[in-house]
Amino acid sequence: MKRMNVIVIFDKNLENTLMCKRTKEPYMGMYNLVGGKIEKENDGLNEAYRELEEETNIKKEDIELEYFMNLTYVKWNKEIEAYYGILKHEVELIEEVNKLEWISINDNFFDMTKYAGEGNIGHIIEEIKIAIKSN
């Protein structure tokens, strides 16, 4: 099974989430979550930290990631692992390929003209917001 991850990053005040603006297909020009391919078998959390640092410059000491959910696409033999974390402090972002932007957590992440993933970003973020409120 092809495994990928997405990582929802919140600023330390829980007001914004970090998005990347895609520079290539799929979803060119749309906002997406940070993440990528899981390269090592059964090492999802470390791969999430690796992708996060590569794409943003956010390091393990800047944030504690929590493994939150999976989305499994049986037909396409693909699984997406979703992680989230709240920054402990401000971090100087360094873009790898895609432009990085902070977006208000109150934005409509279900807007499929603006956000990649056919509504999955909205679903993932809303479920995480529920989980954070219940803690």
DSSP state of 125: H
User: What pLDDT was estimated at residue 131?
Assistant: 97
Helix residue ranges per DSSP H, the chain: 44-56, 120-134
Mean pLDDT of the chain: 96
| pTM of the shown model | 0.95
User: What pLDDT was estimated at residue 133?
Assistant: 93
Q: What is the per-residue pLDDT across 20-43, written as a single tens digit (0 to 9) for each?
A: 999 999 999 999 999 999 987 768
The set of residues, in sequence order, having a beta carbon less than 8 Å from that of 107 and lying 6+ positions away, is none
